[in-house]
Amino acid sequence: MSIKLKTLNEQVMVITGATSGIGLATARMAAEGGAHLVLAARDGDALDTLAHEMRQRGVEVATVTADVGNPADVARIGQVAMERFGRVDTWVNNAGISVYGRNEDVALEDMRKVMQTNFWGVVHGSLEAVKLMKGRGGGALINLGSEVSDRSVPLQGTYSASKHAIKGFTESLRMELDKEDAGISLTVVKPAAIATPFPNHAKSYMEHEPDLPPPNYAPELVAQAIVHAAQVPERDLYVGGHSKLTSVAGYLMPRALDRFMSRTMFGQQQSEHPNSSARRDSLYAPVAEQELRQRNNGERRVVERSPYTSFEMRSASAKTVLLGGALLAAWALTRRPWERRAWPA
């Protein structure tokens, strides 16, 4: 069975972690495209605020207060989607949390909580999505990985492990569904560092507040990739050229990248502000905020465009034309001047 995905304005889309960062950017972009939405998050008040925003824009929306680490909560997301809209066309497993600190310092219960949300949340969501899509025309399952799905970083060991696990689970599930001709597209989206409230919400064992290493890309770029994968089957999508570069460097020269990261990533993942005992994090419960936040309040410059990701999302024929043109130009530039054809004036 070939995989045929609906256009966005024909879709019912489930998004977890919908009230902040990438999830919020995706919800807003999908709404602009005309999708019906089922939005899930732990913070019921934030969900109400987002639902009000959506309804003012004429969007059909349902909300579910849910912790994706709890399989019963995830089943309820699916139940609400079916009761309200009768189907699910795209399911986006986006919810995620992190802990910053040396692996020796982080409490085991905190490590387990990260895995429960990031990995088991994706497992719960994926299995629920597959159950609802099989035999109903298929759909798109989009799991949020990271550049650390391919290459771990220091100070976020459990987060890196969870994103590796998401990649492994998704690849296995994809092959099983391919065997069945289930008509379900499975995509792992692998963003680089994204300028969201992610470090503000993370628990920290460090002396200074968590930060994101540069370059920081705009969350809207990830939303564009997700919306694209909802309509066009993709295996992997790297958001930000830095994400792909990190993956390739980790494969080609892993030890050199180890040394580089050990020298740079400890400083780059900490801000200049000392960590305060009064600092709140969202590891075990959501942090109540006065407004929905798509971006963080960081001081780093935000990269608003990614030519690499734009190229990734082009059709196969367009990629062939562009690559062919680039190779032809490279060939022309490498020829000796006297070998180049003299064009008539």
- In a 10 Å sphere around its CB, with 0-12 CB exposed, 13-18 middle and 19+ buried, how is residue 287 labelled? middle
Would strands 90-93 and 99-100 be described as parallel, antiparallel, or unpaired?
unpaired
Examine the residue annotation and report whether 238 is marked as an active-site residue of this protein. no
Q: Which residue has the tokens 């050199």?
A: 256
**What does the alpha-carbon distance between residue 159 and residue 115 come to, in Å, rounded to a whole number?**
8
Kindly name the residue from 100, 159, 217, 238 that is annotated as catalytic: 159
Q: Where are the alpha helices (DSSP H) in the chain?
A: 21-32, 44-56, 71-85, 108-133, 157-180, 198-201, 219-231, 241-252, 254-268, 307-312, 316-334
Within a 10 A sphere around the Cβ of 344, how many other Cβ atoms? 3
One DSSP character per residue, 25-81 reads HHHHHHHHTT-EEEEEES-HHHHHHHHHHHHHTT--EEEEE--TTSHHHHHHHHHHH
Within a 10 A sphere around the Cβ of 106, how many other Cβ atoms? 20
As annotated, the active-site residues are 159
